[in-house]
Amino acid sequence: MSATITLPGFADPVGEAQATFRAVLDAMSRPGSLHRTGARLDAPPPLAAATAAVLLTLVDNETPLWLDPAADAARDWLAFHCGAVIVAAPDKAAFAVALSPVELGSLAVGSHEAPEDAATLIVQVAALGSGVGYRLAGPGLREPTLFAADGLPADFVQRWQRNHALYPCGVDLILCAGTTLAALPRSVSIEEA
Amino acid sequence: MPDTLPLDQPHAARQKWMAVLARAQADMLGERLGDPPAYRVLRGPETGLVMVRGRTGGGGAPFNLGEMTATRCTIRTDDGFVGHAYIAGRNERLAELAALADALLQDPVRRPVLLAEVIEPLAQAQQAQREAVAAKAAATRVQFFAMQNMRS
């Protein structure tokens, strides 16, 4: 196992994890806003720097992680630096990493008694701030705002509406591209712009 | 104790050198390693607490004795060997040197030389130290059974 870890984690584990946590918090509070993180991180392929930084910050041995088979090359790195338990069944995971579209309903969506048990899905996309436009509305947004992402599935809006309808249950989404991240919490409603 | 580990375990040799490295003096180890090849630190050296557990009661149930300070480090040499070190205390330099030595010892080309020139002398020094302490303690040992022998 140890022979395949080739890259370090955060150079300054406390400071960089705090900065990334703040970026995720701000992104969740203002859906669709763009934040930068992980610029100093040497991320293991195929993960982007932002994806790797979010995982280092949020995932530990108490949060089961589901990993997209396409991201398998980063498995040992995640196991070593996060101490994460990597699970095979998506519905058992607290965090999930996807490089390609996954069905939101295959993840844990929580229950009305414990909506916090829902999973957080971290999706790595080609670009944020350009590409297909979406109109976001909901808590954290004074008025509907435009948000653009390149690399989400063509039927993303329909998929999201099914997830949003489950509120207060449902999956939260963190989108990462390069060193940029944005978040779409389950409370936000999305239309095509 | 590392000395009592069964030798048929596949990792016994590595466990032995890691135990010796963890107890080494940083200066001595640095001196003996000389000029090491280039490497990259993967994690640490970072200090934290580990729970020391013992056994208690007739059934040997686990018992948390207390926490102790430990420092760990992981490095990767440029030729691809990953070395780990966990040491007691907060000597970060020793943790890094021990991790480096662990990585170098996994290289079959370097291992015989390092075992002879680094691990063996360190192990002997540690053994001598243990024996010196044991001898000092033995000098003041009280022979309780001496009284019984005197009466009989």
Please state, rounded to an integer, the average pLDDT across all residues of chain A: 90
- Beta-carbon separation of A2 and B41 below 8 A: no
The answer to whether A106 touches A90, Cβ cutoff 8 Å, is yes
Contacts of A56 in chain B (CB under 8 A): none
- Beta-carbon separation of B40 and A5 below 8 A: no
Distance CA B75, CA A8 (A): 9
In B, minimum Cα distance to A42 occurs at B42
The answer to whether A128 touches A149, Cβ cutoff 8 Å, is yes
pLDDT digits (tens, 9 = 90+) for A144-179: 999 999 988 888 999 999 999 998 999 999 999 999
Among B11, B42, B72, pick the best mutation site for testing chain A contact (most A Cβ within 10 A): B42
- Beta-carbon separation of B41 and A13 below 8 A: no
pLDDT digits (tens, 9 = 90+) for B21-30: 999 988 888 8
Contacts of B82 in chain A (CB under 8 A): 2-3, 5
Distance CA A117, CA A115 (A): 5
Contacts of B43 in chain A (CB under 8 A): 8-9, 80-81
Distance CA B51, CA B56 (A): 15
Looking up tokens 């944005």, which residue turns up? A182
- ipTM of the complex, rounded to two decimals: 0.73
